[in-house]
Amino acid sequence: MDPIIEEGYTRLLETLEELQAKKEESASKVQENAGALLARMAADTAPVVGRMGLDMLRRAKREASGELYDQEYYEKKMIVLGKTDPLPYRPDDPSKPIDTQICVLGEDGNLFEVMYTTTEIRIDSYLAPLAPEEAFDLYGYDVVVMLYRALYEYAEKEEELTAALARTLEYIIS
């Protein structure tokens, strides 16, 4: 083989090793600071959660037909950020199994886990505070992606609404 080709190929392999090392170092730094990133994003998003969030079910009774009645909702709105495989039982009552376990962001900018227990006659939940680092451990990077996506979609809807209002005003004024 031509020495120039060998030299170039060797240099290419060295470059790939260097890039891999930089990638691993960068990934490590991102992982170390993932909690801080999520905490900052949550704090920055908090002011709009009240407008774009959902009323999350706290508890309800279930009729034989499956319909819910006497529903109670949490006072503040929340954004759903992720779902994970549920724990076997709730921390507040080990006799209650968890059917659904989700990560949410509340209006106050804090992260929570909502754990739902569903029986034939009742649905109730347990709301537990969640540190950003714990959110990453349990839900992965989906929480950041979902938070970004929620804001992006909300901004798009606001732009559409603003454009529709502008067209309406034009029509009224004309």
| DSSP letters for 96-160 | S--SEEEEEEETTS-EEEEEEEE-SSEEEEEEEEE-HHHHHHHHTTHHHHHHHHHHHHHHHHHHH
Q: What is the SS3 assignment for 82?
A: strand
Mean pLDDT computed over 163-168: 87
Q: What digits encode the pLDDT tens for the residues 89-115?
A: 999 999 999 999 999 999 999 999 999
Indicate the pTM of the whole model.
Answer: 0.75
* Phi, psi dihedrals of residue 25, rounded to the nearest 5°: -65, -45
Taking residues 52-57, what's their average pLDDT? Answer: 92
Residue in this structure with the two tokens 């290419």, named with its chain if needed: 12
Annotated domain spans of the chain: 33-173
Give the whole-angstrom CA distance, residue 64 versus residue 123: 13
